[in-house]
Amino acid sequence: MNGVSNGNVLQGRTAIITGASQGLGLAIAMQYVAAGASVIICARDEGMLSEAADVLKRSASNDQVISHIVADVAESESVDALVDFAIDKMGRIDILVNNAGIYGPKGPTDSVDWAQWVQAINVNLLGSVLMCRAVITNMKRQGYGKIVQLSGGGATNPLANLSSYAVSKAGIVRFIETLAIEAAEYAIDANAIAPGALNTRMLDEILESDPETVGKEFYERALQQKVSGGAGLEKAARLAVFLGSAGSDGITGKLISAIWDPWDELDRYKADLEDSDIYTLRRIVPSDRGFDW
């Protein structure tokens, strides 16, 4: 069965979605509400967050809980307060969608501001780990849970002049692979999403930068993406629904591309994916490229 095609695949489920005041986070929250979930959204801007919550409430049914709280995923006290708030509002947490993220400083590693470099690691990598740590005890107690982690191009390709972003995104994918093994006995699945090139505030951030700072080739690709419209938010949001649904039970420890992978059919290939290194980060050796040295 294709879990994504059923509009009620998250009926009765509860979810925390971080960085959900705009862009992909809000698109995911909208898809979650449409699929029947109760959601707590968080971000750092109270005004935008409140507006996003109002949008979600207008499309929710009476039995869905829709709420919001200002939170900074890089701060442990803020994360604990968020999770306590969610438990108080919803009683349990079935799904965590780690979407909050930033680009960080732009430019050669030896010239960027060190505090900004560290902050990108704190938000993208450590903030996501903090969120997982905060919810997973409840998920273990329930004997079920879903962790959906947003990754990005930096996980699988070097990104010159965006080193903190690339490092954080590669690091979080390996963390998700590791967490999936730790949590498997509790029926908790953890997966990462490569959403594709999206036209969000992060793209605008690149276009507002000096082409020399981010690199002329990268800047030109960003310009082309702006004109073409990019990958669009819908596929990544729908993949986040699939990975939060029962249709993906048993699929865990994977980095899945919203654009390139046949994720809406993966429930047919669970046996092949189990104990396989498909959709994972691995080292390439000479024999993989036809060499015998």
Rg, the chain, Cα only: 19
Answer yes or no: are the C-beta atoms of 193 and 166 closer than 8 Å: no
Q: Interior CA angle at 11 toward 13 and 261, to 5°?
A: 85
**Which of the residues 32, 165, 219, 279 is marked catalytic?**
165
Query: And the tokens for 28?
Result: 């995911």
Task: Examine the residue annotation and report whether 165 is marked as an active-site residue of this protein.
Answer: yes
Of 43, 149, 24, the C-alpha closest to 95 is 149
DSSP 7-31: TTTTTT-EEEEES-SSHHHHHHHHH
Bridge partners (DSSP) of residue 191 are 148
Q: Where are the alpha helices (DSSP H) in 60-145?
A: 76-90, 114-121, 127-142
For 257, phi then psi, to 5°, come to -85, 125
Query: And the tokens for 262?
Result: 């046949």
Amino acid present at 155: A
The burial of 137, by beta-carbon neighbours within 10 Å (0-12 exposed, 13-18 middle, 19 or more buried), is given as exposed
Catalytically active residues, by annotation: 165
